[in-house]
Structure 1
Amino acid sequence: MNSPQSLSLRQELSFENLSDVSLDISIVTYNSFKWLAKFFDSLASQRIPLKQIRLLVRDNGSTDGSIAWLQNFQQEQQHNYLEISVEAGANVGFGKGHNANLAKAQSPFFLVTNVDLEFEPDTLVELLIQACADGPDVAQWECRQKPYEHPKHYNPVNGDVLWCSSACALFRTEAMRKVGGYEPLLFMYGEDVELSYRLRDNGYRLRYVPKATVWHYTYEEAAQVKPMQFLGSTYANVLLRCRYGSRHQVIGGAIMYLGLLAVPQSFPGQRRGLLKNGLKLLRSAPVFLRTRRKSHQPFPFRLWDYEMPREGSFHAYPEKTGDEPKPLVSVLTRTTPGKTGRLAEAVASVAAQTYSNIQLVVVEDGGNTAQAFMDEVRGYGVLSEVTYLPLPKMGRCAAGNAALAAARGELLCFLDDDDLFYADHLEVLVDAWQKRPELGAVYSLAYQVRTEVISAEPWIYREIEHSLLYRQQFNRYVMWHHNYLPIQTVLFKRSLFEQYGGFDPDLENLEDWNLWVRYSLHHDFEMVHKVTSLYRVPAKAEMAVGRQKMLDDYYAKAQEKHAQLRADISPVEVLSAAQQLSRDIYVTLIPAKQVRKFILQVPSLRWLYHPLRKFAYYVRRVRNR
């Protein structure tokens, strides 16, 4: 788990500390002519001096003019870089091409990158700052991709991840050489997962660096099916199971592959390609089975995927022009004494945000045990403002209201000390709100994480299961029936607090539901379909049942409060509310009108019309007694 010390170390490093760090950039091209100019223009715009960069280019038999363009670029730009090496040869595949460049590497860090992408100005600086801050046990750092982020889960506190995409990733050169580079038997696709697994099998850690961003134009449209990717990734998945999977996973992979031959084709030639790769599997699988993993590290397989996917993979980040206003966002955190460890994780997830204009407000209910930690947080230099309010014991609602009163942001968001943001949480929600600033609030999806707490202080725990329970589009009538918004998922305007107040002090639980109900009386919310946060629930069933009973007891109290509220609603809206509630709440309810219409359309059932009407009348009369 992460610690405040590791965060502060990262912030002590700066651009100036990188002046002596050289970087080798490995590029493999294949008919990449249309991407080259924009790629190298974005590279030239990096804040790191080009004289610290060695370019190692391998062309895999292009026929579109890529080689001539690269050779001309080498001639014209050689004096601007530490070195430019351009080599042309046969198409040996992605991994072998980068292995050829690795043999020429001289710098401590080795960046593997596609050319169908563009760097943001701080991409390389962010990567190198993180790499220089990390210890020698970290071997790889992955960039965030836009407009579509790679959908896999990562640790929101320290960025640890089980595998890294090689679309743009930085390696520790020594570690990459130690494990032998990319697997030569994988021509394209899956070689990045295999190398990541091999690095971890040899004791290394991998990191995701969301603040290091590239615009990767890999999809022409969301969820596009690409034949080469489909064939290459399914082939690689079976082989990776042979090396890193259990016996059941190896057998399961073979069965899954055979099953693809029976399903409808997604593109012409799919079965032919699968059969061709099947013959290759028969030759390559024994090699992977003879070189089985050595460690007990987790190497997950999820059907054709690997790490747990984070839902919302095709939520598109908007193009930035550089002059968009960034409203101040106040993140409001409630904590209590003796919970500094989990508070440190929550704060770390705020410090890791890709959104930059943040006020952090931490209210400690019942003491000032977090004072030293919060003083350190102020020194990070990442957050725009840090406010710490130690209070005598006043309760959850009073602590929340103190945080609301101290907030200066135009937009507010809660983050209790046992919840976490993914790095893009605020960026995604602010983008959504800026598209529709008339909204009272926007919210995203969140994982519920069953968590076994081993120690409260120091904060040690084990995550058992991630679940996505709520995908409810905004419906105020459903909201009035039950809460479907985990508290940390909602970004709302401060003006709502100023107009309608904060938490009701009579509610020590479900106080957030009551808040959303009051705010939704007159203001619309909007859902963003992407997981951007997580919240914890007890792993043990008896604890979960006790927690649920407490919430159920407070449900009646909250409804008593809601009974005092009034909404201006028309008869038509009442009917609409009833229809929406019946659709969204009840599983088997069928409207009487629909049953009647069905009976009248089927001649053999028409004799049921009058008996059923009498029965329905009887049921309604019994219910109304």
Structure 2
Amino acid sequence: MIPEEQPPEAGKHGAPVAWPPLDVSIVTHNSAKHLTALLGSLAEQAAFGTVRVTFVDNASSDDTVAVLLEAQLRYRRTFRAFEVLTNSRNVGFGAAHNRAIGEGSAPFVLILNPDTRLQTNCLARLLRTAEADESRIAAWEPRQVPYEHPKKYDPVTMATTWCSAAALLMRRSAFEDVGGFDARIFLYCEDVDLSWRLRRKGWRLRYVPSASVRHDSYEFAHQIKPVQTVQTLLGSLYLRNRYGSLADVLSGYEVFLRSLLAPPLFKGHRKATLLAGGRYLRSFLHFWELHTPSDVGFFDRLDFAPMRLGAFHQVTSSEDAGERPLVSMLVRSIGRQAQLRRALTTIANQTYDNLEVVLVEDGPATLAQLVNSFTDLAINYLPLDARLGRCHAGNVAMQAASGQYLGFLDEDDELFADHVEQLVACLANTGARAAYSTAFEVATEWNEGHEIVREGPCEVVFDRPFTFIELSVRNFMPTCCVLFERSLYKECGGFDLALDRQEDWNLWLRFAMQAGRFARIRKTTSLYRVPLPEDDRASRQTAMLEYYEKARASNKDVVFALPAEELSADYRTLLECHADGHARPWPLQKPTSESRARRWARAPIRILRKALGHART
């Protein structure tokens, strides 16, 4: 039963007093069990009389429609309108949303899956962001919990290359400008296609992780869902036809054959894949008709954007975590303002709100005006007046910090929005005194004004479990990845002033010997930059190697000081890590006979791609 509603007060749950008209579009198919939670969360956050809700049911066989009709009566005073439409057959996700959205006229449209529910302040934060944004922003995507979508976004501008339509606020004018969803895409990937058509027409997309929705998409981590598996493969083929180069199209055929010939992931997998191939052929001309290869498309097997590690890391929202201790972000700068502005912006974008910044300028004061422009950040700015070195600057920052936890962010590094939130949660959940995550390494070229000219691909170079054995011979925790108790600095001291490089490695090792193992979350929450030009990269590597020997000399006796049980645990961890890294290549290997069959099936594609390569040269 759906509980009797109470009209919400204006401004409740962070809602703006003057709420813009909003149309909510929800498509259902056998969704009865989810509707009570969804409607309760929506009614709780909707400003009275401004929200129109339209449901389109795709031929449900359960009591979804009956539940909706009951809700229509109960929520009649809460929403501006509550409409229930039905289809005699399942026409698909996109086509049904096109119908629902066409019923309204509000300037903003909120698309929701029936298995979502809005978290605290979600709607208010989305609408405030949308109203403040410029007119060419088309869509605002909230963060999904408990599993955040792992696609990479720009942590400075919060721009994203595509938005999930499981929960999405859209500008109606943008949606209508591109003709809505492509009804030929039945389920999955229709949101990627919509996003890319928007970007192709000059619209931009925004990620808003401060607004969250709970999406009950998976019953458990790493769940394989047959419909999602097949429809994503089919959608990838469609999108390669529409946006990809000829090489992308051919690579799609290779992905299809790999999926067909790999060990089945579920009963009927091969049959479903073959049927999907038939649907692709029947729709080939529809998607090829608009074939315009451009930089809006991105294809990596079945992914449509670079992916961060941590797809099934359970996100802990800081609002749900209870106590939020003060965290000090320590920034060392040598006055590169363009880089520093980006770094500080990523701190300002954090979903964790109890933060201070300790900014130490290694040299005379040149950053006061920039610091004053960040009115939403509590920044303790400490210029040193003379160049004293990165280690000295780091020690000054640790000494000046007030937070229970400290983390470093050099001026050329950047944080994804949940970096602090997830590391604080990890420390609270594990009882560890230090924790680390993974980071992208991004090869970058800057101009003389320290603005980004060119970037290489993102790569996770260090993805290692904590072991004393490995830490004694190399650093696998980049500076920006670690959050630690301030008390460790008091107990162990700061950076070794004799090390101008590898100083973080030495510090982590001393902290670990004092506090024990660091906790780890296998999620990409930050990025650090290395030089892209070969000469700059080579000189950096030379300097790192020089200081590597100095740092290693002070680390050499660490392993011998460890108890035997610690060494045994480390050895088991390293063995498991090695096995995990080689046990599940993509795709899973079959016996030799099938491997030969797969190679035979790929041969025409290899020949074509090779011929195309020769033709280009």
| TM-score normalised according to structure 2 size | 0.87
Shift of 1:554: 1.4
For residue 275 of structure 1, report the CA deviation from its aligned partner. Answer: 2.2
CA distance in structure 2 between the partners assigned to 1:586 and 1:456 by the alignment: 43
Cα 1:262/1:359, change in 2 over 3 Å: same
Q: Partner residue of 1:481?
A: 473
**Kept in 2: contact 1:521–1:567 (CA 8 A):** no
**Structure 2, unpaired ranges of 5+:** 1-12, 580-617
Q: Is the 8 A contact 1:18 1:128 kept in 2?
A: no
- Is the CA contact 2:142–2:213 (under 8 Å) kept in the aligned structure 1? yes
Correspondence 1:531 to 2:524: yes
Q: Which residue of 2 aligns with 1:506?
A: 498
Report the RMSD for the aligned CA atoms in angstroms: 2.4
Partner of 1:328: 326
Which residue does 1:368 correspond to in 2? 365
- Does the 8 A contact of 1:154 with 1:208 survive in 2? yes
Give the 3-state SS of the residue equivalent to 2:53 in structure 1. strand
Is residue 331–residue 359 contact of structure 1 (8 Å, CA) maintained in 2?
yes
CA contact (8 A) 2:362 2:385 kept: yes
Which position in structure 1 is the counterpart of 2:27?
28
Q: Distance in 2 between matches of 1:250 and 1:73?
A: 46
Is the CA contact 1:441–1:492 (under 8 Å) kept in the aligned structure 2?
Answer: yes
2:299 pairs, out of 287, 298, 301, with 301
Structure 1 pair 289/264, CA: closer, same or farther in 2 (3 Å)? same
| Aligned residue type for 2:220 | E
* Corresponding position of 2:173: 174
Q: Deviations over 1:96-137 (max 9, x none)?
A: 111001212211111111010111121111111211122121
Separation in structure 2 between the aligned mates of residue 447 and residue 281 of structure 1, nearest angstrom: 35
- 8 A contact 1:109–1:172 mirrored in 2: yes
Residue by residue, what CA displacement relative to the aligned partner does 1:339-373 show, whole Å, maximum 9, x if unpaired?
A: 11111111111111111111111111112221112
The TM-score with structure 1 as length reference comes to 0.86
Instruction: Give the fraction of aligned pairs with identical amino acids, expressed as a percent.
Output: 38
1:442 alignment counterpart: 435
The aligned runs of 1:399-414 (5 Å cut-off) are: 399-414=393-408
Once residues 582 and 306 of structure 1 are traced to their aligned partners in structure 2, the CA distance between those partners, rounded to angstroms, is 32
- 1:409 maps to a residue whose letter is G
Q: Which segments of 5 or more consecutive residues in structure 1 lack a partner in the other structure?
A: 1-13, 588-625
Q: Which secondary structure does the structure 2 equivalent of 1:219 belong to?
A: coil
Distance (whole Å) between structure 2 residues aligned to residue 567 and residue 104 of structure 1: 72
2:443, 2:242 → 1: CA distance? 30
Deviation at 1:16, TM superposition (A): 7.1
Is it true that 1:120 corresponds to 2:114 in the alignment? no
Residue 536 of structure 1, CA deviation: 0.3
Q: CA deviation at 1:87?
A: 1.1
* 1:231 alignment partner, SS class: helix
Q: Deviations over 1:500-553 (max 9, x none)?
A: 111122222211111112111122212211111110001122211111111111
User: In the superposition, relative to structure 1, how do residues 135 and 579 fare at CA in structure 2: closer, same or farther (>3 Å)?
Assistant: closer
Partner AA of 1:349 in structure 2:
T
> Aligned letter for 2:464?
Q
Q: Which residues of 2 match residues 93-492 of structure 1 at below 5 A?
A: 93-293=92-292, 296-318=294-316, 322=320, 324-337=322-335, 339-377=336-374, 379-380=375-376, 383=377, 385-393=378-386, 394-437=388-431, 439-457=432-450, 459-492=451-484
Cα distance, 1:398 vs structure 2: 1.4
Shift of 1:27: 0.6
Query: Contact 2:472–2:559 (CA<8 Å) still a contact in 1?
Result: no
Contact 1:42 1:119 in 2 (8 A): yes
Structure 2 counterpart of 1:519, one-letter code: F
Cα distance in structure 2, aligned partners of 1:325 and 1:79: 37
Farther-moved stretch of structure 1 (544-553 vs 270-279): 270-279
Q: How many residues align?
A: 564
Seen in structure 2, the aligned counterparts of structure 1 residues 53 and 157 have a Cα distance that, compared at 3 Å, is same
Residue type of the partner of 2:216? Y
Look up the match of 2:75: 77
Give the structure 1 partner of residue 91 of structure 2: 92
Q: 1:264 to 1:506 in 2, by over 3 A?
A: closer
8 Å CA contact retained: 1:478, 1:581: no
Question: Would the alpha carbon gap of residues 507 and 38 (structure 1) be closer, same or farther in structure 2, given more than 3 Å must change?
Answer: same
Retained in 1: the 8 A contact 2:162–2:205? Answer: yes
Residues in 2 aligned to 1:358 and 1:471: alpha-carbon distance in whole angstroms = 27
Cα distance in 2 for partners of 1:492, 1:523 equals 10
State the shift of 1:579 in Å.
5.7
* Rounded Cα–Cα distance in structure 1 between residues aligned with 2:430 and 2:573: 26
Counterpart CA distance in 2 for 1:365 and 1:512 is 17
Which stretch shows the higher mean deviation, 327-336 or 389-398?
A: 389-398
SS at match of 1:79: coil
Does structure 1 retain, via aligned residues, the 8 Å contact 2:155–2:416? Answer: yes
